[in-house]
Amino acid sequence: MRKKGEVWNHFTIVSKDYNSHPHVRCNYCSKDFQRGVPERMQAHVNTKCSKAPNNAKQQNTISITDNNSFHMSEKEQSSLESLVTKKLSSSEVLLPFVNNPMK
């Protein structure tokens, strides 16, 4: 049997058909899904269900765990800085926002 993801903790199985996805109901707003497809269930909790708590919503985050895992040549660094500078100046970002927090 396949392991179920966290999204299943936010739904109740109404009926099971072993040949397909089960009929499920959202624990927060009682919306029924005739076929409990995890991706659609998570999308419902993330964006459609106004009663779902924030800790039920899947966060889209990027995690950097090793600062030494990405290396850039001086030429690449210079090119990147130039592109960022051009983009910031063309988008009219206020200068206090651009201050370097590392200084």
Query: Can you give the length of the chain in residues?
Result: 103
For the cut 80, the answer to whether the pLDDT of residue 83 exceeds it is yes
CA dist., res. 30 & res. 33, Å (int)? 10
**pLDDT at position 90, please?**
78
pLDDT category, 12, cuts 50, 70, 90?
very high
CA dist., res. 15 & res. 32, Å (int)? 11
- φ, ψ for residue 44, nearest 5 deg: -60, -50
Domain boundaries, the chain: 6-56, 73-98
